[in-house]
Each structure stands twice: as structure tokens, then as C-alpha cells.
Amino acid sequence: MKQVFNPYLPNYEYIPDGEPHIFNDRLYVYGSHDRFGSRFFCDNDYVLWSAPLDDLSDWVFHGVIYRKDQDPLNKEELNPLFAPDVTQGKDGRYYLYYAPCGTKSIGVAVADSPEGPFTFLGHVKHKEGTLLGQKLNDPYPFDPAVYFAKNNTYLYVGFSPDPGWDFLKREFGSIALSSGAHVTELEDDMCTMKSECRKVEISGCPDPGHDFFEAPSIRKVDDKYCFIYSSMNSHELCHSFGDKPEGPFTYKGILHDNGDIGLNGRNEKDRVSYTGNNHGSIIMINGKWYIFAHRQSNYSVYARQGVAEELKRNPDGSFKQSEMTSCGLNGEPLDNKGKYGAYIACHLTSGSGAVHYLDNCEGQEFEGIRIKHPAFSQDGEDREDDPGQFIRNMSDGSTAGFKYFKPAESLYLSVFTRGDEGLFEVREVFHGPVLNTIRLDKNDGFSESETVLIELSDMKKVSLYFTYRGNGHIDFDSFILK
């Protein structure tokens, strides 16, 4: 068995919005599919990866399971396929629900196997045949989640946009879309709504920032139903508990934040990495609960990668906020010997901190931000077998952090970088004392540095932080522990 890191799929794969499901003793993660270098969300067709439950490092690629042009409303492939979800129906077949951008609809596809390929079945519609999303006061047909419980199939959709958002006016004109998450049950044909959508009620949010924004998902946790969603803060996934699949639900807290905001009281100014939107869900694997979410890369929100973290429980059964790590699904800290790609960093900031990509790294500001900030990136084109993802553009004060490794009294350490000269300060704790420094020579290609010895504290698990010091810029490819 190999180790598994964050992101848990190969470093050339960009699958955000992960919905994990277990079918036939395998873990499948259904998600949308970003394209590296694109300037919009979800430009690629749906693909699928799965792993056996007894080895979460052994991911298998099942190829394309559904194409954009299979939907009759999207024959010209003009609209990307946003976040999907899958359930197994009463008939034993597997049903894929998705939202093609700009079509005002929720599509449904079906397959005989969880691995697909899926075939178009229809669109979710009202009893009289009008498509969901095309009637006055329909909810926004977006981010479908589907759940089979008590012999009923529940469909959740929704969005809570700012009424002034111009793109909604362009897409939906005068249609008065109902804001928030909504739920309905489906007939046995898996397309027809049994009744009109009802709003999902969530009480107890401590402030409006934790209210529902998008990305509904639903899971059974013990004897409760757990409703998961992306909040108005965007970078976090929250959860709530209810006694019935349709709610009402009571807010229980943050599950995951892609900047660790909220963890141990951390505020947005002290985020540990570059944040953007978030979307995912939870699942129990081998007796442990995990949250599947995503992180941003390439100075944008259009090249997102799946990450997963173990969840711990509170006394009332709810979940504590997970910590972003490099080891994720590994089940234990990483070995303290071996070569590791810098792309598994769970902490990445510039000398002046990190930013929220939607606010700071879009459009005309892109090149300016690129000069100032580091980012996960690659030299190769989208979906090359080994594009060699690395950390691009570290400048003075930029820090990459990795958690966790197995304890050791001391380690020999070297790094592979390219770019200008300078040095790395190595720490166990961000802003902590410097354990040693590594001299970095100027070079055009990735080259190994000198090897230095670092003396570690007597800890149960080890963190490593690399801070660049210099007048130029470097790219950070990997490091060796021995």
C-alpha cells in the first residue's frame, strides 16, 4: 500500500465539488471537472475515480462517464456541467443529477453501474411537464443533491445569490427565482416532482456568514440527517442536523474551510492558504468520518482539486471543524523518509499573507497578483499524465507548510527549486524559531539544494514550514527527507 496525500488524486486532475459515495465496497467520488488554464468553471466532461475501501491510495480512473453534448439542451457544448450527484434508485440502477449552466434545468442520466457510462434520461420537471427552473418562483436549478431514504428519492437544489448579480439577470431575465435551498421528492421515474419545491429551513446560524449559499448535500449520521452546504462566506462548508430528510435543520458548525478560517479562532486575515469557493460532503469509511472538499490553484477558482480530511465528533454527535493537512486520507502521519512533491502543501501564503481568489486574483489583477503571490501550478497542458505540479512564484516571505509527518529526533533535508538565489528558512511551527537554513542557488531547471540537518522537538507528529528569503522569485518542486 502506498501513501495518499492531499490532493488525493493525481496532481494533474482537477475535480472539485466532490460527492463521495460507497457502492459495492468501493469509494466513488463524483464531481465537476475543471480544466487547467481555463477562465471558467467546469470546462471538461465528467470523469470518475474510485478506490477500494481497504486501500485509499489505490485510485482507479474510469474515464469519461458523461459528456456535455449528451444533454439535448446542450448539443453544441456551450454550457459547462456544474456539480453533480448520484444515487442508486429502487430499480438498482444509478442516477446522475447535474446542472448544465445556462439551460435553466436539472438533467438526469442513468447507468447500470456506478462507473457508468451514463445515458441521458430526461430533465427534472413539474407534474404538468414544465422543467424545474422555468416557472415563476422556482428555485435556482443549481447544484443538485439527491438522496434515497424511506423509500423516497429527495432532490435538493438551490442558491442564495445577491439580487443585484448581473449574470442572473442575463440568464433568467424576469423570472423571479426563489432564493435558498429547496427540496422535493421524485416519482419512480426519477424525473417528475411529486410536489412543488419546499424551502429547506436552517435555524441557529450564529451570523449571516454561515447561512446557506450553495452546494447542498445530505447524509445520514446515526439517527439524524445531516444537511451540508457552502455558506455565504463561500470558503467554508457548514453542517446542520434534522430528524427528517427534508428538515427543518439546526446549524451545528463549520466542517471544513479551505483557509482554516474559524479553526481555533483564526480570522480571515490569518488564513493559512488561498481561499475560494467550497463544495463537498461527508462519508464514513472504515469507521471514520471524512469531509471531501476542494482547494484552489493557478491563481484562480477555475482549477480546483479535491482534498479530504478526517472529522472528529462533538459530544452532541455533531462534527468539529477539520484541519487542513497534507496527509488527509492516509489515516496517519506521512513517513519521515522519502521524496514529497511541494504540491501537497496544506499551508501556502505570501510574505503579506494569503487572499481570497474571487476578490484578489481575477481579471485585470491577475498578472499583478502573480508577481506578489505563490500558487499551486504546472508547466504542462491540462490532463497531461505527469505535468509536474509545483508551487510557483515564491517571493520574499512566502511560506509553504506541510502537515503531518511521523516523529523523528532529527532529519536530513534537501529541496528542489528553480529560479533566483536565496535561502529557505525551515521551521516546525509557522512564525516559530528557525531550525536551519537551506542555501538556494540560481538555476533555470529544478535542481537539488545542499542537504542540511534539522533537529526536531519531541512531538507526536511533525510539521515542516519552508519560508523563502531573497530578492527574486523561485518555484518549489519537492523536498527529500532522510
Q: Is 214 tagged catalytic?
A: yes
Could you count the other beta carbons within 10 Å of the beta carbon of residue 259?
27
The 3 state secondary structure assigned to the chain is: CCCCCCCCCCCCCCCCCCEEEEECCEEEEECCCCCCCCCCCCCCCEEEEEEECCCCCCCEEEEEEECHHHCHHHCCCCCCECCCEEEECCCCCEEEEECECCCCCCEEEEECCCCCCCEEEEECECCCCCECCCCCCCECCCCCEEEEECCEEEEEEEECCCCCCHHHHHHHCCCCCECEEEEEEECCCCCEECCCCEECCEECCCCHHHCEEEEEEEEEECCEEEEEEEECCCCEEEEEEECCCCCCEEEEEEEEECCCCCHHHCCHHHCCCCECCCCCEEEEECCEEEEEEEEEECCEEEEEEEEEEEECECCCCCECCCCCCCCHHHCCCECCCEEEEHHHCCEEEECCECCEHHHHCCHHHHHHHHHHCCEEECCCCCCCCCCCCEEEEECCCCEEEEEEECCCCEEEEEEEEEECCEEEEEECCCCCCCCEEEEECCEEEEEECCCEEEECCCCCCEEEEEEEECCCCEEEEEEEEC
CB 65 within 8 Å of CB 11: no
CB 65 within 8 Å of CB 29: no
CA atoms within 13 A on the CB side of 160: 20
Set 34, 143, 214, 260: catalytic member = 214
Backbone angles phi, psi at 479, to 5 degrees: -145, 155
Set 13, 17, 43, 477: catalytic member = 17
Pick the closest to residue 286 from 74, 7, 22, 2 (CA basis).
22
Q: Checking DSSP bridges between strand 443-448 and strand 410-419, what pairing results, if any?
A: antiparallel
Q: Is 17 tagged catalytic?
A: yes
CA-CA distance, 251 to 209, in Å (whole number)? 12
Pick the closest to residue 401 from 317, 314, 325 (CA basis).
325
Active-site residue set = 17, 214
